[in-house]
Amino acid sequence: MAHTLTWLGHASLGLETSGYRLLVDPYFTQNPAATVNADTVDADYILVTHGHGDHIGDTIKIATRTGATVIANAEICSWLRKKDIPVHAQHIGGGYTHPFGHLKLTLALHGSAFPDGSCGGNPAGFLLTTNDGEKLYLAGDTGLFGDMQLIGEEGLTLAVIPIGDNYTMGPSDGLRAVRMLSPDHVIPIHYNTFDLISQDAGAWADTVQRETDSEVHLLKPGESFVYP
Ligand code: NI
Ligand code: MN
């Protein structure tokens, strides 16, 4: 069964798997790289890695309009529940089998305050095992950490990692992350949205291709990677 992952700009992703439409970190309003509109995009589930404005983004607006269930850590879910958003709370290390696949929350080294300053708990990444057994690791915003080795031991089809630097891993730590994760495919995100995180992704891709066995897919915002 084919899966389609679309980079919607910055750290926003669309994923179609088993007939379900997932949005990850849907930040479209005020996102200069956004390729879809919060007033029209469709979703069955919304996955949120952490509370920062460029990740929680348009979650409330989209979930209210579509009725999509938001999956995030317990703190983010209790904040959303007060706004009458349907949620499924999980937490780091915990997995659950949803209709679209098995989703586990993973460690991320970052912050998670909401735009209003309240506490969004600890930031997370996602490890999704699709219903036909493909493993996707969505790192979220994070610095490099050695336990990426453990995530790599899962046997990853695809890893989506930040390389923008300043707020997250930059290109050199991104390369070290790929070595630990050893995914079949890797897609870099969270770069070039703003000057502060501008990177030469082509040069990074060349280095990763040369120094690892992983295949890099450089998407432009709006472009999709279809696999396997
Ligand atoms: Ni962040
Ligand atoms: Mn971010």
* CATH code of the domain containing 15: 3.60.15.10
Predicted confidence (pLDDT) at residue 227 exceeds the cutoff of 90: no
> What is the CA(146)–ligand 2 centre distance, in A?
21
> What is the CA(132)–ligand 2 centre distance, in A?
30
| Confidence at residue 73, expressed as pLDDT on a 0 to 100 scale | 98
Query: 108: domain range?
Result: 3-216
79 close to 112: Cβ distance less than 8 angstroms:
no
> What is the CA(159)–ligand 2 centre distance, in A?
17
Please work out, in degrees rounded to the nearest 5, the angle formed at the alpha carbon of residue 107 by the alpha carbons of 38 and 68: 25
**Ligand having the closest approach to the CA of 25:** 2
84 within a domain of the structure (yes/no): yes
228 within a domain of the structure (yes/no): no
> What is the CA(139)–ligand 1 centre distance, in A?
12
Dist CA 209 CA 212 (whole Å): 6
pLDDT digits (tens, 9 = 90+) for 19-45: 999 999 999 999 999 999 999 999 999
> What is the CA(6)–ligand 1 centre distance, in A?
20
In the chain, what percentage of residues exceed pLDDT 90? Answer: 98
Please, which pLDDT band fits residue 82 given cuts at 50, 70 and 90?
very high
The residues facing 3 across adjacent strands are: 227
Q: What is the CA radius of gyration of the chain?
A: 16
153 within a domain of the structure (yes/no): yes
224 within a domain of the structure (yes/no): no
DSSP assignment of 125-178, as one string? EEEEEETTS-EEEE--S----TTHHHHHTT--SEEEEE---SSS--HHHHHHHH
223 within a domain of the structure (yes/no): no
225 within a domain of the structure (yes/no): no
**Ligand having the closest approach to the CA of 11:** 2
Structure tokens at 123: 């930031």
> What is the CA(140)–ligand 1 centre distance, in A?
8
Total number of domains in the chain? 1
> What is the CA(56)–ligand 1 centre distance, in A?
9
**Ligand having the closest approach to the CA of 52:** 1
| Nearest to 181, CA basis, from 142, 209, 218, 153 | 153
| Confidence at residue 96, expressed as pLDDT on a 0 to 100 scale | 98
9 within a domain of the structure (yes/no): yes
- CA 96 to chain CA mean position, Å: 17
Please, which pLDDT band fits residue 228 given cuts at 50, 70 and 90?
confident
> What is the CA(2)–ligand 1 centre distance, in A?
30
226 within a domain of the structure (yes/no): no
> What is the CA(1)–ligand 2 centre distance, in A?
31
The pLDDT of 76-93, averaged and rounded, is 98
215 close to 145: Cβ distance less than 8 angstroms:
no
Average pLDDT, the chain: 97
